[in-house]
């Protein structure tokens, strides 16, 4: 049951963390007040969040499948 909750909860947490990390920068992009260096730094943070979320999701899917089978 715990692994099923993890499989469902990890994508939700990743999407929420991406939303809150991009909320401030979205307004700066829309008003053309963001620098390119900050934009690339934020891109690195987004990629790190996506990679960590994907690894956690793969691990939880593996544990769910080994628990069921």
Q: Give kind and range of the element (H or E) at residue 53.
A: helix 36-68
pLDDT single digits (tens) 31-43: 777 677 777 777 8
Residue closest to 60 by CA, chosen among 10, 14, 16: 10
- Contacts of residues 54-60 at CB distance under 8 Å and 24 or more positions apart, as own/partner, are 56/6, 56/10, 57/7, 57/10, 57/11, 60/3, 60/6, 60/7, 60/10
List, for residues 40-66, the tens digit of each pLDDT value: 777 888 888 889 999 999 999 999 899
Domain of 10 in residue numbering reads as 2-68
Domains held by the chain: number: 1
């Amino acid at each position: 049951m715990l692994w099923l909750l993890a499989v469902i909860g990890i994508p939700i947490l990743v999407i929420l963390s991406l939303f809150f990390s991009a909320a401030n920068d979205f307004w700066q992009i829309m008003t053309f007040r963001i620098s390119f260096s900050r934009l690339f730094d934020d891109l690195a943070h987004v990629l790190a969040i996506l990679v960590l979320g994907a690894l956690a999701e793969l691990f939880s899917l593996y544990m769910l499948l080994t628990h069921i089978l």
